[in-house]
């Protein structure tokens, strides 16, 4: 290797990694019934976010728990979504539905905090939202609730695109 390549590798490895939040939500034992009996494995449900407007979730499956968790983290990193947040909250009220799980998200004033429970709370904290009120309705299945939350978050509108689409200036606090 040339000396320049070695230097670039050293400077690259010395850069601090951006902070992320990885949370294991659920670990389940899974049985696969085969001809000779049952095959035991594990499924780990992970939510991962960069605390700056990007979040993803995934399940990892393996015969051992740590490997399932690692696979889930890698898949959650791969399937991250960029979400529109303004001033540590969401721009407007929104709801999302997946299966029989429904989630309602409302923006809140500074200092309110994240008022939510279960996977909804973890997903909003991983996203970097600091002031929001949320309510999960219907089924309390963790995976479906997380999917309903993501459906709602992906519906959030961008103020610049809305002003351009409507052709007028909107009076919204940024």
- Where does 83-162 sit in CATH, by number? 3.30.230.10
Domain ranges within the chain, ordered by starting residue: 3-81, 83-162
Are 59 and 73 in contact by the 8 Å Cβ rule? The answer is: no
In DSSP notation, 71-126 reads: HHHHHHHHT-EE---BTTB-SS-EEEEETTEEEEEEE--TT--EE--HHHHHHHHH
Strand arrangement of the beta sheet that strand 94-98 belongs to: 94-98, 101-107, 132-138, 114-115
Cα–Cα dist 110/104, whole Å: 19
Cα–Cα dist 96/81, whole Å: 16
Q: What is the pLDDT along the chain (174 residues), one digit of tens a residue?
A: 444 444 433 444 455 577 888 999 999 999 999 999 999 999 999 999 999 889 999 999 999 999 999 999 999 999 999 998 888 888 889 999 999 999 999 999 999 999 998 999 999 999 999 999 999 999 989 999 999 999 999 998 887 787 788 888 777 665
- Where does 3-81 sit in CATH, by number? 3.30.160.20
Same fold, 3-81 and 83-162: no
């Amino acid at each position: 290797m040339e000396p320049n390549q070695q230097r670039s590798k050293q400077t690259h490895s010395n850069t601090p990694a951006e902070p992320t939040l990885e949370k294991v939500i659920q670990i389940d034992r899974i049985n696969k019934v085969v001809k000779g009996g049952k095959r035991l494995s594990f499924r780990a449900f992970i939510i991962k976010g960069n605390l700056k407007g990007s979040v993803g979730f995934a399940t990892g499956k393996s015969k051992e728990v740590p490997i399932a968790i690692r696979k889930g983290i890698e898949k959650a990193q791969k399937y991250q979504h960029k979400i529109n947040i303004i001033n540590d909250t969401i721009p407007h009220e929104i709801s999302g539905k997946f299966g029989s799980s429904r989630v309602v998200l409302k923006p809140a004033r500074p200092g309110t905090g994240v008022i939510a429970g279960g996977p909804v709370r973890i997903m909003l904290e991983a996203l970097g939202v600091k002031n929001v009120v949320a309510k999960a309705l219907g089924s309390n299945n963790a995976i479906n609730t997380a999917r309903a939350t993501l459906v709602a978050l992906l519906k959030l509108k961008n103020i610049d695109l809305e002003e351009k689409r409507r052709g007028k200036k909107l009076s919204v606090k940024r």
